[in-house]
């Protein structure tokens, strides 16, 4: 089952979170995980609504873009208080306005396009119609939504500090940023017809990432609060990805995307790579040989079965020195636990009640 377990160290002083009574225990397990060690069990994320608590949804993208901050943060706290946070699951506020927000922040006046029937769904309208005159690509510090994001992060840090964790924005950067700004189909054609222009644009995208990270983490006071993303670390963490990678070859991924991801990982610390879709499995060799991608979260995608069907992929990740994030019903997680290294695995277990969650945590304790 991997490395021998270590006894739980004493609770660290000064680590308290109002909405997570066992926060200090969670911190110890997260820190052991990031060091490649294990205490009494692996990291297990398990949460569900508290019985009898009012059902209050988390704020949507639309809420965070249009509603007053006080209302958004009130709703955030109501939602978090109505949930049971078990194991290493942490009540976390996501400040994101939408997946394409970084592209929006780079435009002069672009806004989100909202689905006519679902206010929580949005996307950016491509704003680079011709490359001539569009570069260099930079953060537009005067864009109203960029200013709003920095203000939201500051307000959330003040209001939520000591109560719950504060997440990072959606980091759809590198080629994903260019796809949102130019349009995925146009970018595919550009990669073939005007690769030198795409290289220049990608250099701009890579250069803006450090500024983006510094500005948002400073506004959120993450170094002081010590919280980052739903993936937790006192030493820096973020979710990185490139969903556009499904549309390019392994050779192009290794040449254009991987160096950018490795740069981003060095900046943020313990990076979690969101590896989305079976079509992206063609990049496995590059991802497993990468520097800085600490945890791999592979999701097969709708219609392609649960994660347990890809156990061999997760085993290959661990054999290459990566940690993995898997999830499913308890019986599937139990089966995967018998095959995966516990010190290199995060489990998300689906439960309906706190008692089911406590039983799942006890099972992992007994079987590690």
User: Could you report the per-residue pLDDT of 51-81, keeping only the tens digit for each?
Assistant: 999 999 999 999 999 999 999 999 999 999 9
Residue 133 lies in a domain: yes
What pLDDT does 166 receive? 85
Residue 18 lies in a domain: no
Residue 8 lies in a domain: no
User: Could you report the per-residue pLDDT of 238-285, keeping only the tens digit for each?
Assistant: 899 999 999 999 999 999 999 999 999 999 888 999 999 999 999 999
Residue 3 lies in a domain: no
Which residues does 258 contact at the CB level (< 8 Å), separation at least 6? 286, 287, 290
Give me the percent of the chain exceeding a pLDDT of 70.
91
Number of domain units in the chain: 1
What pLDDT does 228 receive? 38
Residues 130 and 316: their CA atoms lie apart, in Å, by 42
Instruction: Read off the pLDDT of each residue in 6-11 and give the average, rounded to a whole number.
Output: 50
Residue 231 pLDDT exceeds 70: no
What pLDDT does 234 receive? 41
Among the residues of the chain, which ranges form H helices? Answer: 23-34, 61-66, 69-81, 101-105, 144-160, 174-182, 184-193, 195-220, 222-225, 250-252, 258-268, 284-288, 311-319, 330-337, 354-366
User: Could you report the per-residue pLDDT of 311-348, keeping only the tens digit for each?
Assistant: 999 999 999 999 999 999 999 999 999 999 999 999 99
Residue 6 pLDDT exceeds 90: no
Instruction: Read off the pLDDT of each residue in 297-301 and give the average, rounded to a whole number.
Output: 96
Residues 8 and 211: beta-carbon distance below 8 Å: no
Residue 327 lies in a domain: yes
Q: What is the CATH number of the domain that holds 41?
A: 3.20.20.210
Residue 72 lies in a domain: yes
Q: What pTM was estimated for this model as a whole?
A: 0.92
Residue 168 pLDDT exceeds 60: yes
Q: How buried is 18 (Cβ within 10 angstroms: 0-12 exposed, 13-18 middle, 19+ buried)?
A: middle
Residues 150 and 167: beta-carbon distance below 8 Å: no
Residue 344 lies in a domain: yes
User: What are the tokens at 306?
Assistant: 């649960």
What pLDDT does 222 receive? 61
What pLDDT does 327 receive? 97
What pLDDT does 236 receive? 55
Give the residue, 5 or 189, on which the prediction is more confident: 189
What pLDDT does 17 receive? 86
Mean pLDDT of the chain: 90
Q: Residue 49's domain spans which residues?
A: 23-366
Residue 250 lies in a domain: yes
CA nearest 174: which of 112, 269, 243? 243
């Amino acid at each position: 089952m991997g490395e021998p377990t270590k006894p739980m160290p004493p609770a660290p002083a000064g680590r308290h979170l109002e909405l997570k009574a066992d926060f200090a225990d969670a911190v110890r397990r997260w820190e052991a995980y990031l060091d490649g060690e294990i205490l009494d069990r692996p990291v297990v994320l398990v949460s569900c609504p508290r019985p009898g608590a009012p059902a209050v949804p988390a704020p949507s993208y639309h809420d965070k873009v249009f509603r007053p901050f006080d209302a958004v943060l009130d709703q955030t706290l109501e939602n978090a208080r109505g949930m049971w946070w078990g194991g290493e699951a942490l009540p976390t506020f996501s400040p994101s306005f939408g997946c394409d927000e970084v592209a929006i922040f780079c435009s002069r006046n672009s806004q989100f396009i909202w689905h006519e029937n679902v206010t929580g769904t949005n996307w950016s309208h491509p704003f680079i119609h011709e490359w001539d005159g569009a570069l260099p690509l930079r953060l537009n510090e005067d864009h109203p939504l960029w200013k709003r994001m920095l203000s939201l992060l500051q307000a959330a840090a003040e209001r939520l500090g000591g109560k719950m964790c504060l997440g990072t924005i959606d980091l759809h950067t590198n080629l994903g940023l260019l796809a949102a700004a130019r349009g995925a189909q146009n970018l595919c054609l550009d990669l073939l017809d005007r690769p030198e222009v795409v290289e220049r644009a990608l250099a701009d995208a890579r250069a803006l990432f450090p500024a983006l990270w510094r500005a948002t983490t400073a506004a959120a006071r993450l170094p002081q609060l010590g919280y980052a993303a739903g993936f937790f670390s006192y030493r820096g963490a973020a979710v990185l990805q490139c969903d556009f990678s499904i549309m390019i070859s392994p050779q192009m991924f290794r040449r254009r995307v991987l160096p950018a991801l490795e740069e981003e990982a060095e900046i943020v610390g313990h990076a979690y790579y969101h590896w989305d879709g079976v079509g992206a499995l063609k990049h496995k060799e590059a991802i497993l040989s990468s520097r800085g991608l600490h945890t791999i979260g592979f999701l097969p995608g709708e219609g392609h079965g649960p994660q347990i069907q890809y156990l061999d992929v997760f085993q290959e990740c661990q054999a290459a020195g990566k940690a993995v994030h898997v999830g499913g019903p308890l019986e599937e997680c139990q089966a995967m636990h018998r095959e995966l290294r516990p010190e290199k695995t995060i489990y998300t277990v689906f439960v309906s009640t706190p008692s089911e969650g406590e039983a799942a945590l006890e099972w992992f304790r007994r079987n590690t």
